Amino acid sequence: MAKKETETTDSEPERKFNEDTDIKDLPGVGATIASKLRNAGYEDVISLATANPMDVIEICEIGEPTAKKIISAAQEAANMNFVSGLEFEERSKAVQRISTGSNALDILLGGGVESQAITECYGEFGSGKSQIAFQLAINVQLPKEKGGLEGHVIWVDTEGTFRFSRVEQLAKVKGLDPKEALQNIKVGRAYSSEHQKALVDKIAGMINRDPKIKLIIVDSMMALYRAEYVGRGTLADRQQKLNVILHNLQRLADRFNVAVYMTNQVMARPDMMFGDPTAPVGGHIIGHVATYRIYLRKGKKGLRVAKLVDSPSLPEGEATFQISADGITDAEDEDAKKTK
């Protein structure tokens, strides 16, 4: 973390509030407004700091000046103000990358899955979203020269698809002790979207206790939200809740220089006549937050094709890789490489 002008000390005594401050203690909030905000999904300083004033006006039934005051108090507490270009440069120099196991896929992503960013992978069932997660959870544990960060992992499992046997298998392939590899992955099984949010809220504390954590996996991001919010009436509510959890994840990525990898299902788009009739669940809301979006599809001969979608900094492109018992690797045979 970048230091303030005053030198060595880590503490910032002049800041009365910080991102762990209870929202009811923020100037202008209080118990009544805090409870309205919580009901609407704004449970902490970070989510409030990124809120839209119009929403806050509506939710709390307060005037615009008060809403703005509350949001700016939250931003102050979250320390989300300007940083110098130099600090910005320092931060981006600290970006680290985790290899996916496939060179081609790493290149597509600009060198691997990035810290300080959310990488979202979407595609149909069996396209390899979870397999990439398993591989990353192993690769991040490797030394730098082997594409890792000697890091630990937090895995939020919303579908009950975490497999310890797959972790052990992939660990062996990479020469890691299988039990140790499992030990380094903390798995939280989420049973509802509220529970998922609560698990994510615990992550900051976990990283404070174990700074070796370098990767957060959410597999899958939307399953529970999708199941719980059926029908159009609740869609706005769902997007609001999603917005909060996604921003919390982005904030974790920034604050702790960790990578976030999340998976997402696709849904059929019957209204679409041309092109790929699939779209990620959650629509644009994830797209606006995720820094990298990969669309996965099945190719010929059991290969997979990854397409980078809407990246702000990298050209669109595709990479072909394969999934086998040994995990994610580059596609082997020559004609397979030409598969589109």
For ligand GTP, the binding residues (CB under 6 A) are 123, 125-131, 161, 166, 265, 323-325
CB 261 to Mg ion: min, Å: 12
Nearest C-alpha neighbor of 225 from the set 294, 290, 287, 286: 286
Q: Which residue number, 57 or 267, has a Cβ lying nearer to ligand GTP?
A: 267
Q: Which residue number, 130 or 240, has a Cβ lying nearer to Mg ion?
A: 130
Contacts with Mg ion, residue ranges (CB under 5 A): 130
CB 139 to ligand GTP: min, Å: 15
Which of Mg ion, ligand GTP, none does 251 bind, CB closer than 5 to 8 A by kind? none
Which of ligand GTP, Mg ion, none does 71 bind, CB closer than 5 to 8 A by kind? none
Nearest C-alpha neighbor of 182 from the set 128, 252, 134: 134
Instruction: Pick left, alpha or beta for residue 35 (phi over 0 → left; psi -120 to 50 → alpha; otherwise beta).
Output: alpha
Which of Mg ion, ligand GTP, none does 265 bind, CB closer than 5 to 8 A by kind? ligand GTP
Helix (H) or strand (E) holding 298: strand 292-298
Nearest C-alpha neighbor of 115 from the set 244, 225, 260, 220: 260
CB 134 to ligand GTP: min, Å: 8
Which of ligand GTP, Mg ion, none does 325 bind, CB closer than 5 to 8 A by kind? ligand GTP
Q: Can you tell me whether residue 308 is helix, strand or coil?
A: strand
CB 3 to Mg ion: min, Å: 42
Task: To the nearest 10°, report the CA torsion of 282, 99, 336, 320.
Answer: 30
CB 265 to Mg ion: min, Å: 8
Q: Which residue number, 69 or 297, has a Cβ lying nearer to Mg ion?
A: 297
Residue 264 near residue 286 (C-beta atoms within 8 A): yes
| Per-position b or e across 237-271, b if 16+ CB within 10 A of its CB | ebbbbbbbbbbbbbbbbebbbbbbbbbbbbbeeee
The one-letter amino acid code at 38 reads: R
Q: Which residue number, 116 or 158, has a Cβ lying nearer to Mg ion?
A: 158
Which of Mg ion, ligand GTP, none does 126 bind, CB closer than 5 to 8 A by kind? ligand GTP
